[in-house]
Structure formats: structure tokens, C-alpha cells
Structure 1
Amino acid sequence: MKWLRILGLVALSECLVIIPLTKIKTLRETLREKNLLTNFLEENTDDRSQNATDDPKISLHPLRNYLNMVYFGNITIGTPPQEFRVVFDTGSSDLWVSSVVCSSQPCSANKRFNPHLSRTFRRTRRLFTLKYHTGRIVGSLGCDTVRIGNLVILGQEFGLSEKQIQLDRVPFDGVLGLAYPSLARKRTTPVLDNLKTQGIISQPVFAFYLSNQKENGSVVMFGGVDHSYHRGELKWIPVSRTHHWQITMNRISMDGVAIGCFNGCQAILDTGTSLLVGPTTMVTTIQKLIKAIPFGREYMVPCSNITQLPTFSININGSDYPVPAEAYIWKSPKGPCIINFREHPKPLKDPETWILGDVFLRLYFSVYDWGNSRIGLAPAV
């Protein structure tokens, strides 16, 4: 399954966490002052959350690569912690997981949150709906303690899925959105904002390294950048709209010949989309250039032709970011070679907007600096 998400969320509210207007103390400092730190750490330690870097300011968390289609990692919710596999998604801003009351068939394979087992859970009696390209989720909203490794967020709002339509056979239990708060619903505080306002991380920065083919080795990092995951210097790109992680592209070319985006166009960097998604006219042009043929709802090329196919390249701020055919062709385990370009499932306000999903982000280490509204890119190691 190619997981292509088009997300809309409605009717969520907020969980109140009182933060002093004076200098914000970290959770660790507050607990230490009240002589509660030792007990808290003993109760909430997760041996798998050890940082993979020597820099104490950077918190690294492993992600699993599922067949180059989706990346997910573990978080916990509640006290005592209940563990879930979630997609760390730069294309949305809200957190949800499956609920124990979900009776839909897709939920049967998921780990499900049981609010009755958490003494820190608070229900808000609010409903929510998530609309995906491949299905729909409905449920209720709650608040609880969320842990991303050693990062502990108090009173985090999250959705409890109670009905899942069509979202079956997905290898994860929920989604953790990492886009701007304007993409979340009114009166909600996304995970990113809580990480900052509760003083949990030192810098409002996170980054992704997505491995190619290997099941293990991918990471998401919070609070800084581990530069061992990329080659050369990061090139910084201003965010053109603080909603999605959206940037301006200058040109699109195939083997050096410009084929689109002649007057500039927009692109969204989205770790929750596995593909390169573009306007119908552009995707059709690319299909013709590489002589792709229909294969069900997708397009394919003979696997023997991959080495002869042109390189797809994006120019951003005067720098080229090439995507070779080996990256934009997906060789299924027992099937043909499928092209990883897709048309937008529905028209967008800007018809030339692209979504740069995991096909692109496996090639380029990406840094998301929401303090300065910019994205850093460099070739991944």
C-alpha cells in the first residue's frame, strides 16, 4: 500500500497546561525542586530511548522503514506508559492513535489506547474527524502525558480513533503531526508547540534521516542537528507559508532540460507521503518522457530500463537537487517496477504545488527550524 495522505481535521479543542509567564523551567528542573525526579524517572524509564548522539541537547529516536513506503517510530501515552507506533508526519499537525473502543476491522491489528489504564488521562468530550485520501477516522479528544523517548510532554491533546474506515493493513497505530500550528484545529496545541513552551528542548529544531531500503537506521531528532547524517553543508531555504513546511521551487527538469515550474512553483516537504506528487499535466509529461505504461491504477516501466531513464531534478534557491531513476522507481518485491510519481487526487488552490515525499527525503537529510521558519537540506550519507 502506498500511503498518500490528504488530511483534514475538525472539531478539536484544547487541554489546559498552566505555564508560568516568567522563565520556563524544564520538567526535570521542576521535579528536582520538588524531590520527585528520582521516582518519576524510575516509573517512566524506557530503555530504548537512549540517545544515539553524545550531544545532550539533541534527542534522537529510531524510525522503522517499512518497504520504503512509510516510516514510523515508538512513543508512549499515559501513566503508566502505553506504547504506540506512529508516523512522524511533517504534513500534518495533530496527534492521534487507535482507541480501545474502536470496533472497526482496521483497528484490530493496531495497539489501542485504553484511557482507563492511565491515571493521568483526561477526556474532553470533544469529537474529531480525520479525512484521508484512502479513508476516514472519527473519535474523541483526550489529554495525557506523551513521551517521545526521553522527551516528556504534559497534558498533550491527542485524538482517540473510535472508527476507522478503509485504513486497513497499515503497519502503524497513529500519526504524530509536526507541521505548523495553523494546520491544526483551533484551540489545540500541537506537539511541537508543547515541546517549546514546556521547555523540553533547547532549540525549536527537528530533523529527519530516512534510510534507503534498510529497515533500521532511520531517525528523527529534536532540539538540534547531528551533522554526521549528511554530507557537505546544509543549504537553508525560507518557508514560503507557515502552514505546511512549504518552500518555493525555481525549476523542474529532466536530464538538464526544463520541463516545468518555469515561473516558480510551490512544494511541500512531507514525511507522511511516500511519493512525489504533482500536477496532472506535469506527471503526465514525466510518464511520457520515461515511456511508462499503465499498470492498474499505477504506471510501470521495464526493470531493465531503469539505468537508461533520465534524472528528475528540482532547483531551489539556485541549487539543484537531483532524483535519479533508481530513487523514483519502486521495484516491488514480487512485481514490476512502478514509478513513484502521482497526480494530486484533487485540485489544489495552486495548480503547480508539489508534495516532496519520502522518495525525495531519502536522498536529502532535512532540518525543520520553526524558530526561524526555514528548512535545511543536504545530501544524506
Structure 2
Amino acid sequence: MMKWAVVLCAVLALSECTYRVSLIKGKSARDDLEEKGQWDEYRLKYPFNPMGRFTQTYAVGYESMTNDADLSYYGVISIGTPPQSFQVIFDTGSSNLWVPSVYCSSAACSNHDRFNPQKSSTFQATNQPLSIQYGTGSMTGFLGYDTVKVGGLQVPHQVFGLSQTEAPFMAHMRADGILGLAYPRLAASNAQPVFDNMVQQGLVQDFFSVYLSGNSQTGSEVIFGGYNPNHYTGSLVWVPLSSETYWQITVDSVTINGQVVACSGGCQAIVDTGTSLITGSNNDIANINRWVGATVTNGDAVVNCNSIASMPAVTFNIHGYSFTLPASAYVRQSAYYGCRTGFANGGSSLWILGDVFIRQYYTIFNRRTNSVGLAKAV
């Protein structure tokens, strides 16, 4: 184990990894791989774990995600013994794990995979009810414990929700359930989130990273206890959290062509993989859509598809840095509905920087420093 960990650190000797082992003489593993033309293959295969040089007890959990038309991202986990598989949305805007159960008769359960506790030898029931309200509906059910496998990591005694009712909109979800990655204080029924359980059991270091592909392409991923430098360029900007419930930060302003068009004087925003759009207060969003030339019809900000190339970029100024979205990033083109912006009314002063933003900026969610790291995604 020690030998492999040392070699792995040498293989991943990027700029962040300066660890040197006196037992390795002569040419480094990276030098050897580069000479053989295999370096790029290895650095893509093994996500970077910056703590690997200090300990051999931590793993890296790699979870690939499916991009569903740039509207949601989900991956496959398993629950129980033997394992029962489910597709779940990895959601940094909530904290509970739940999946449909055989006790659910809602339409949303009938067209999704359902967990059967009687088929798992490691399931432990509770009498504790669960109710979660999302922006477009709710689910109710009860809590249980079982072994959860995610990203190649086995997490024993993980609490999760078994749904008994689900909102109608969930019948249209590709995913079966949701795996929340926000802070424990946001969890319904005080259920311990999966990531917290991973860290508490010493499986991974206390940070994870997210890359979201665009244009329905493959390659989206969440990495527990590691991150992938191949998915971003330039330096990471570390933004401290303003609240440790959601992954909440302070946005200084939103500008177009140097003019403040929203969030004047600063506003609060959450970085949320579970929301497809960028939302904010109604007045601010309306002003942004006016500036980019959108016409709001039935709540949708419609633009001419032929005008995308000439539309202005929208810049979010955060922690003294500028994070810019070109029109090609914030306009979604649909064969059925034409072109619409990704700016939507949130009905709240709390902004949501959803997938429209995260697709452009690789994000590391750091629980040790209570911060998010942002860098231009590639």
C-alpha cells in the first residue's frame, strides 16, 4: 500500500504536488511516462488528491455523471446488500439522500427504480418520517440505514430516505432520486449527508469537486476527496462562504459592459448543481434580460437565435474577481422552443448560481476551509 501511494503521488506530480521521496532514485515516474507518451493518459485516469502525499488512508471517489440536455446531471449509486442501483442528481443545494421505495404509489415512483428493503440484508428501518420541499414540489417518506456505494466508495450505515409520495414533476425526472451535498444543518430530519459520513469514517478528505459538461456532451463528474486539473485552466480563486448551510457566497455585483445591472451593493448567492438556471430577485433578473435584449413571454426570456454572437457578456464580480459568461453560455437553444436566456426569476433576494454558471467554472467545494474554489472550466 505504501509503495503504491508513493508511486501514485509521483505520477500525479503536478504543480501542486511537490512531495519527494528519497527512496526513488534517478528518473521520476512522470519523466518515464512522458518519455513513453503515457503521461496524459495517466493524469486523466487518476484524479489529483493533494493530500495523498501526507497519508495513505484516504481514497478518491470518482463518479461520472450523465448530462441530460444541459438541464440536469445525474450518476449511478447503489444501496443495500446485494446492491440496488439508482440514478441520482448530485445536488449541492440540498443535503438529503433519498430514492423511491416500493411503498410509494405516486406516478413518479411507478416509472422509476424503487428500493425494496426486504431484499437487502443490511437494511435497518427507523420510525422517523421525512419530508422535503423543493422549488417545484416535495417528497415524503421515512428514514432507513443501509450501505451506500458511490464513486467506488462503500459507505456503511448511511441514513437515507425512502419515498412514499413524490410530487408530479418528479415523474418527468430522468433520475430516480437526489443525493444532497450541502451542509448538515440543511438536512431534513437531521439526517447525516452522505459526504459528511464519508469524511467522518475517514474514507476521503473533506472536499469534493464538480465538472459539468456543456451541449449534452459526456465527461461530467463529481470527485470526492480530489479534483481534476485537466478540467480547468489558470489559477483557482478561493471564495469564502458567507453561510454554512448552502454553499453560499457574496456576489459584489453583476455587470454588463462595465455597468452594474444587478446585485448593486452586493447580494448573496448559492452555488447549486441541482438548479439548471441562474436565478435572482425579480427586478434584477428583469434588468439583466433587458440589457441582453430578451423579451419575456410567459416567464421565459426569449432572444433571437441569430443574435447570440452579438449579445453582451454578463459578468459576476465575486471576491474581487470577475467571472464572465458569454452569450453562448447563458443562452439555451432548443429545436422546439427557440432560444432563451438562462436568467430566471427566483422570487427571492437569494441568488442561485446554477448549472449555467458551473458549466463555465470548475468548482471545488471545500468543507475544511468553508470555501469554494473557482477556475475557468475547459
User: TM class by shorter-chain length?
Assistant: 0.7 to 0.9
Deviation at 1:216, TM superposition (A): 1.5
SS across alignment from 2:234: coil
Whole-angstrom distance in 1 between the partners of 2:323 and 2:64: 26
% of aligned pairs identical?
41
Alignment of 1:377 with 2:370, yes or no, is no
SS across alignment from 1:102: coil
Whole-angstrom distance in 2 between the partners of 1:59 and 1:89: 16
CA offsets 1:177-196 (integer angstroms, 9 cap, x no match) = 10111111354211121111
SS across alignment from 1:285: helix
State which of 182, 192, 200 in structure 1 corresponds to 2:185.
Answer: 182
Matches within 5 A, 1:67-216: 67-166=69-168, 167-185=170-188, 187-201=190-204, 203-216=205-218
Matches within 5 A, 1:283-302: 283-302=285-304
Could you tell which deviates more after superposition, 250-259 or 71-80? 250-259
- TM superposition score normalised by structure 1: 0.82
CA offsets 1:153-200 (integer angstroms, 9 cap, x no match) = 111111111111212211000000101111113542111211111111
Number of the residue aligned with 1:354? 351
SS across alignment from 1:212: coil
- TM superposition score normalised by structure 2: 0.83
Number of the residue aligned with 2:361? 364
Deviation at 1:71, TM superposition (A): 0.3
Number of the residue aligned with 1:8? none
> Which structure has the higher relative contact order (CA within 8 Å, separation 6+)?
1
Number of the residue aligned with 2:333? 331
Deviating above 6 A after TM superposition, structure 1's stretches of 4 or more consecutive aligned residues are none
Whole-angstrom distance in 2 between the partners of 1:91 and 1:216: 23
SS across alignment from 2:332: strand
Deviation at 1:250, TM superposition (A): 1.2
Whole-angstrom distance in 2 between the partners of 1:84 and 1:186: 22
Deviation at 1:58, TM superposition (A): 2.7
Whole-angstrom distance in 2 between the partners of 1:273 and 1:54: 26
State which of 237, 252, 255 in structure 1 corresponds to 2:254.
Answer: 252
Equivalenced residues, count: 325
Q: Is the 8 Å Cα contact of residues 132 and 188 (structure 2) preserved in structure 1? A: no
Whole-angstrom distance in 1 between the partners of 2:281 and 2:268: 11
Q: Is the 8 Å Cα contact of residues 61 and 219 (structure 1) preserved in structure 2? A: yes
Q: Structure 2: which 5+ residue stretches go unaligned?
A: 1-43, 50-58
Q: Please tell me the residue identity of whatever aligns with 1:130.
A: I
SS across alignment from 1:327: helix
Deviation at 1:372, TM superposition (A): 1.0
Q: Structure 1: which 5+ residue stretches go unaligned?
A: 1-50
Whole-angstrom distance in 1 between the partners of 2:70 and 2:81: 33
Deviation at 1:61, TM superposition (A): 1.2
Whole-angstrom distance in 1 between the partners of 2:292 and 2:227: 37
Number of the residue aligned with 1:5? none
SS across alignment from 1:168: helix
Whole-angstrom distance in 1 between the partners of 2:152 and 2:282: 43
CA RMSD across the alignment: 1.5
Could you tell which deviates more after superposition, 182-191 or 277-286? 182-191
Q: Is the 8 Å Cα contact of residues 58 and 226 (structure 1) preserved in structure 2? A: no
Whole-angstrom distance in 1 between the partners of 2:339 and 2:228: 34
Q: Is the 8 Å Cα contact of residues 242 and 373 (structure 1) preserved in structure 2? A: yes
Deviation at 1:55, TM superposition (A): 5.2
Number of the residue aligned with 1:53? 46
